[in-house]
Structure 1
Amino acid sequence: MSSYIYLLTLVHTAISLVALVLGWPVISGFLHGRVSTWTFWFLVTAIACSVTGFLFPITVITPGIVFGIIALVTLAIALYARRAHYAGHLRWIYVATMVLNVYLLLVVTIVQSFQKIPFLNALAPTGAEPPVLIAQVIGLVAFLVLGVFSVIKFKGEFGGGVMPTPA
């Protein structure tokens, strides 16, 4: 592995893990009807994660590339909704796109964990075995529930030290 790829892998992985961790207080904020103070940093790291993913050599379209495209499109929609102060239907669209992006980070983490962590890889060497599917289904169900409750609870009010969107 070249030093460029090695360094890029370390940076990309670190950014993605930070984005995933920051996604939890964002969702928690939604469940409490507000914008988390961590939202800005989640957006920065989630965008950086997707962008750095495209710096790897691309020879074929992989699920990771598709996830990166979906993430960037939905993050752009979230940024638009945020700039519009969650007006009307943009409130639920904002919440849905943010929750979807945390979910995408989780799915990639699950898949990568089964590929890279030896004891998980022993359970699912090809990535198509039941343990991977079970982990993904649990994640999907959990995020569907979190998404629905987040949409219901989020009021779309700026507060709690959140950096306001420029006018």
Structure 2
Amino acid sequence: MPRGIAADVHSAVRRRRAVAVAGAVSAGLLVLSACDKPTPRATVTVGKSSISSEAECYKDGDNLGQQEAAKCALKKSSDTIKVAQSETLRIGVDPEVADTGWALWINGQQVTNVYKKTYYSFQGVDLFADQQGQAAPKQLYISIVEQNKTASGPSSEFKGVWNFKLENSDA
């Protein structure tokens, strides 16, 4: 083949490849734009260890309702962190969660008031204390539940639930 024709063939092949690559990139971006946006994150830190997770239940900031939130708070998490007795438990949430408010739940029960902070530290909490003659548990499940703070009474909106598993490192 003469040089001019060979160059034209290679040029056409390069153009087809470039068009194919551009098409693949466009298709990938289209697929990604169709995906749900990620939920806000919550982080649990003990000592130098920390775990972070997206919500177990979340409806883009819409109200889940108290029953659904309670059911979600009972789901077992695989996100695990080891905790020694009397260790400081630190919880961090995204600012949009703090704007609404959040409470700490243990084993499906609310145990704190609603906080409106992005970070809260529970100093020296003995989460694994003996309970009325029963041995200290080896693990427990905590939930961070996004719920509104009302001055007049209990929360009326429950927007998200993040679950974590704590293991007693002293057991």
Under a length normalisation based on structure 1, what TM-score does the superposition of the two structures give? 0.25
Q: Which has the higher strand share?
A: 2
Q: TM-score, normalised by structure 2?
A: 0.24
The higher relative CO (CA closer than 8 Å, separation ≥ 6) is in 1
